[in-house]
Amino acid sequence: MDRNPGGAARPAGGDVPPPPRQRVCIVGAGWQFTSGISYYTCQLANAFAGQHDVSVIQIRQLMPRRLYPGRRRVGEPRARMTFRPDVPVCNGIDWWWGRSLARAISFMAAHRPQILVLQWWTATVLHTYLALAAVSRLFGSRIVLELHELQDTGEARFAPVRWYGHWGLRILLRMAQGCVVHSTADKKILQAEYGAMSVRTAIAPHGPFDQYLPGTQRPGAAAPDLAAVQRAPREEVVNLLFFGTIRPYKGLEDLLRAFNGFAASEVSGLWLTVVGETWEGCTEPARLIAASPHRERITFVNDYVGDEVVGAAFGHADIVVLPYRRSSSSGPLHVAMSWGLPVIVTRVGGLPEAVAGYDGAILVPPGDEFALQAAIRRALPLAGRRFADPRSWSEPVGALLSAAGPPARPAGAEPAVPDLVTLPHGGWR
């Protein structure tokens, strides 16, 4: 069903007046190339809409289809969440522009945003963001970048793409009034790579990914993978879940080696469910699953599954294991926290901050299968318990407004000097 995922941003204190209503345009991933940023864009817009006039411009055709790791599912429906009825959406801009860019500029001109929020997660959007930022400056908009990561790990493997992304992001930062990162760790990386820049920088955690909770989805056709993710006999075993795209930095191989290393007597009380789409030729996890001495106790769904399957997978899980080798943030982590599940997560990047205040988290060092085994044993008594998620969408909403700063001063007035804004945060998809 349609819903407001995050609700309106609430003031920190009971007597604090809400911020003045502003016109905000959010630019982010659309549903054609569905990803975690597609969900984030929708959640953020719905959260903003409670107290502000929000419009959305979606990136429709993100890149040439043949170059996309999930090319076989492009255009297929995966998500069932929707924007609020009061959020106008332009769907959207194609990487080659054509008429799509003209339509987006016309859409922006009609809504005249005071704040333009650009979601940054890949260099493929750079040329489009530069164009929109230039046009928005003519409208007098303040520009804010929300940095989910400075560079996609797959893009960073190629020197020309790495240089292009670094060069372009530097220009965008110079054009912007502010930017938002999701952890202190990300802010340190930003400062190390880009130095001191006259841009407001706010820190706020990722909002809760609660779109898969029971009762939040519209009914849809039963997916073939639905039964697979519920295969673990819950009354007899503790079901460990790994969820997310299968990429080298996700560390799934470490979890599989840990699981394969359990003795038969110990693994008899466990089940491992792996759900994810293979990217970047990361086939070692599939090989380890096929060769596992406990193969009959592993469910492997090698796909970017639809929302009904995601909800079923987390609803059937007892413990979520995310053994990343590096990460700025993690959408699956925030899904797990929204469900209140015990989580085993590695101590890398912004992840320790993401779980700060979450009592169901167990932190382990990256790349250590023996530490993962110990953490799984430690987490077993937590199976069946539920924990409160400390995250709220009011945090990124407030951070973006703070990073945008006040409206532009009248001509001739003394310009304001950008400052550094750090919001209370618990860390950080």
What's residue 17's pLDDT?
Answer: 67
What's residue 225's pLDDT?
Answer: 84
3-state SS, residue 218: coil
Are 304 and 70 spatial neighbours (Cβ–Cβ below 8 Å)?
Answer: yes
What's residue 87's pLDDT?
Answer: 97
Are the folds of 23-207+392-404 and 226-382 the same?
A: yes
Q: Across the 429 residues of the chain, what is the mean pLDDT of every consecutive 10-residue run? A: 40 60 96 95 94 96 93 88 95 96 97 97 96 95 95 88 94 95 92 85 92 68 79 92 96 97 94 96 95 96 92 96 93 96 96 95 96 97 96 94 79 42 35
Q: What pTM value is reported for the model?
A: 0.88
Please report, for the chain, the start and end positions of each structural domain, with discontinuous segments joined by +: 23-207+392-404, 226-382
What's residue 215's pLDDT?
Answer: 60
Report the alpha-carbon distance of residue 181 to residue 147 in Å, rounded. Answer: 5
Check residue 21 and report its DSSP letter: P
- Superfamily of domain covering 226-382: Glycogen Phosphorylase B; (3.40.50.2000)
The top-level CATH class assigned to 23-207+392-404 is: alpha beta
Q: Which pairs from 342-346 meet CB under 8 Å and 24+ separation?
A: 342/318, 342/379, 342/382, 342/383, 342/385, 342/387, 343/319, 344/319, 344/320, 344/372, 344/375, 344/376, 344/379, 345/321, 346/251, 346/322
Paired tokens of 420: 């550094």
pLDDT tens digit sequence for 306-332 = 999 999 999 999 999 999 999 888 999
